Structure 1
Amino acid sequence: MIQHAMPLAATGLKIDWTRMPTYNTIMSVAAGAGLLLVVALGRQLLTSRRTITPDGWALAFGALGFTLVTTGLHMTLTWPLAGQGFPFDNVIFGEPALAFGVFLLAAAFYLWKRGAELLGDDGVVRTARVASPISVFVFGMGLACFGIAAAGWTYTLFAAPPEEPISGEFAQWPILEASFMSGLYVLVGIGAVLFPFALRRPRGWMSPVVGVVWGLAGIAFLLFGGLNYFTHIGLIVNTM
């Protein structure tokens, strides 16, 4: 593998990785896991909330929230991806990760302190009321996801270079990866925009829609993030 990569590094794209620390790999995995856990907890609240163990959910949301807040905050404030000509990626990945991480940390704190309230007969109604104020921010980030998706399609921002394994095989068709990634942001955006309205009628038709779109996006982000551990390492080897 390295013997094949070295000629590419010698003749193709060169990147000074000391000027562009890249960690959207773990951000993608954490975001995907977070979306899946939010959907899973919501489903349990609506179907079998008495089986919920609040401490376990608090730990999970806290761990994922910490990962996303630290990486997202650093990317948002320092713009590490601007050093080699990718400043837009700091907005695309850093700011949504920071926002989602804050949401997860807030949920973790609530579950740690007041999680037992979810087990009561009015657990669904109480949860909807508690989440209602923050849903305005969720709605706003949904609009942001639509904006990111539109930018991705317009400027084909997510296209991988030929030196990146697997994804680079489609480098001559940049619209493919741009459409895939933009589509994921659209899914997240749909769920986020519907979220405040779903809270008004938690057992209405909007809640399953939110669950489906966030679940699909969560699976994709989780798997794609895991795959990127190989593709990004390969890109580093091929462009050193």
Structure 2
Amino acid sequence: MIHHSMTQFAAAGLKIDWTRMPTYNTIMSVAAGAGLLLVVALGYRLLSPGGEVSFEGWALAFAALGFTLVTTGLHMTLTWPLAGQGFPFDNVIFGEPALAFGVFLLAACFYLWKRGAELLGDDRVVRTARVAGPISVFVFGMGLACFGIAAAGWNYTLFAAPPEEPISGEFAKWPMLEASFMSGLYVLVGIGALLFPFALRRPRGWMTPVIGVVWAIAGIAFLLFGGLNYFTHIGLIVNTM
């Protein structure tokens, strides 16, 4: 979840005052991708008959990812705009979803650390669905938000990288390409979030595998894209100082 729409400055040669443009949605992308993959993996283990789960390990993983997303997402959400040179929509596009997902992960961490042993019984699927029921309303709401972000990305051609950014900048002439890629990832996350509360009613129904697939694809993409952008963002900083 990385790029800003800075192509309007490209013609004049993009120069950025990085003291007024804090950029750390690289780590947010990596953490979000890892979080989606771990949620899918834990769900698979819980649904697998007789599968053993070490909840302490999952709680520690969710704590690390949740802390990363809450701290960065909260700062981006409350600092308006975070980027002093503009792009206040980044606060909404990146900060708020990261904050929400981080809170979800920390809540799961707290429960698994304190009460995870209760999910080791034969009724763990039913018990998990019952525990996750109330928070699923918030998950559903954030699913709607993901669709709104995706629609904005397509409508306003957001996410396009400037020519000064390595690799991604090679596609600056086709801004809709990256806009479609990033918006598509938000759509995948949104589909899973919208189905989530309904899947809890029948955890072994058809909706659960769909959620697993769309979140796994989005998780892999966010993880790899975030890792790649450690290079592309460093290159962008070097090229625009």
**Shorter chain as normaliser: what TM range?**
over 0.9
Worse overlay, 116-125 or 100-109: 116-125
Aligned to 1:164: 165
Q: How does 1:199-238 map to 2 (within 5 A)?
A: 199-238=200-239
Describe how 1:16-35 pairs up with structure 2 within 5 A.
Answer: 16-35=17-36
Q: For 2:165, what is the secondary structure of its paired residue? A: coil
Within-5 A mapping of 1:85-124: 85-124=86-125
Q: Please say if 1:82 is aligned against 2:95.
A: no
Q: Secondary structure at the match of 1:172?
A: coil
Residue number in structure 1 paired with 2:184: 183
CA contact (8 A) 1:50 1:119 kept: no
Bigger helix share: 1
Give 1:202's aligned amino acid: P
CA distance in 2, matches of 1:49, 1:192: 27
**For the Cα contact (< 8 Å) 1:49–1:119, is it kept in 2?**
no
Verify the 8 A CA contact 1:20 1:81 in the aligned structure 2: yes
Post-superposition, which runs of at least 4 consecutive aligned residues in structure 1 deviate over 2 A? 79-82
Amino acid at match of 1:63: A
The aligned residue for residue 137 of structure 1 is: 138
Whichever residue aligns with residue 214 of structure 2, its letter is V
RMSD: 1.2
TM-score (norm 1): 0.94
Tell me how far apart the structure 1 counterparts of residues 123 and 60 of structure 2 sit (CA, whole Å). Answer: 24
How far did residue 49 of structure 1 move? 5.4
2:15 is the counterpart of 1:14: yes
Q: Is the Cα contact below 8 Å between 2:129 and 2:200 reproduced in 1?
A: yes
Q: CA offsets, 1:191-234, max 9 Å, x none?
A: 00000000000000000000000000000000000000000000
Once the two structures are TM-superposed, the CA of residue 79 in structure 1 deviates from its matched residue by 3.2
For the structure 1 residues 118 and 85, does the alpha-carbon distance in structure 2 shift closer, same or farther, using more than 3 Å as the test? Answer: same
Q: Residue deviations 1:83-110, cap 9 Å, x none? A: 1121111110000000000000000000
The one-letter code matched in structure 2 to 1:165 is: P
AA in 1 matched with 2:128: T
Cα pair 1:158 1:177 within 8 Å, conserved:
yes
Q: Does 1:40 align with 2:60?
A: no
C-alpha distance in 1, partners of 2:158/2:50? 42
* Equivalent residue number for residue 240 of structure 2: 239
Asked if 2 retains the 8 angstrom alpha-carbon contact of 1:21 and 1:80, the reply is: no
Task: Give 1:4's aligned residue.
Answer: none
Q: Percent same amino acid among aligned pairs?
A: 90
Aligned partner of 1:3 in structure 2 is none
For residues 146 and 174 of structure 2, the distance between their equivalents in structure 1, rounded to whole angstroms, comes to: 23
What secondary structure does 1:85 align onto?
A: coil
Question: Residues 151, 102 of structure 1: CA spacing in aligned structure 2 closer, same or farther, 3 A cutoff?
Answer: same
Whole-angstrom distance in 2 between the partners of 1:66 and 1:205: 32
Cα shift at 1:82: 3.3
* Distance in 1, Cα, partners of 2:47 & 2:116: 15
Say if 1:49 and 1:89 are closer, same or farther in 2 by CA, change over 3 A: farther
**Whole-Å separation in 1 of the counterparts to 2:179 and 2:80:** 21
- Whether contact under 8 Å (1:20, 1:80) holds in the other structure is no
Q: Which amino acid in 1 is paired with 2:150?
A: A
